[in-house]
Amino acid sequence: MLTINVAVLLVAIIIWRIRRPVEPRTRADQVFGVAVILILGLLLAPTPFGHSVLGAVKQLVEGIAKASH
């Protein structure tokens, strides 16, 4: 349960950062954003939701690969 609560907090941070006005960002700001998104991915990966997203992405990639041949 702790994983989901931290994940929800990180989603809120990501949404807050996306809604900010577009302005030049510092290198530290970019690194913080990437770190938050990576941590969110690591927290969601072992959950059932993470597995379903992974399955959907796999199907999408396989469909694109088959269509290109």
pTM score, whole prediction: 0.56
Residue 18 has a pLDDT of 79
Listed by start position, the domains of the chain span: 2-68
Residue 40 has a pLDDT of 80
Residue 64 has a pLDDT of 82
The amino acid at 9: L
Residue with tokens 């960002």: 25
Token pair in block for residue 20: 């900010």
Token pair in block for residue 59: 């199907």
4 pLDDT more than 70: no
Using one digit for the tens of pLDDT, what is the confidence trace for 11-69?
Answer: 888 888 878 776 767 888 888 888 888 888 877 778 887 788 878 888 888 888 888 77
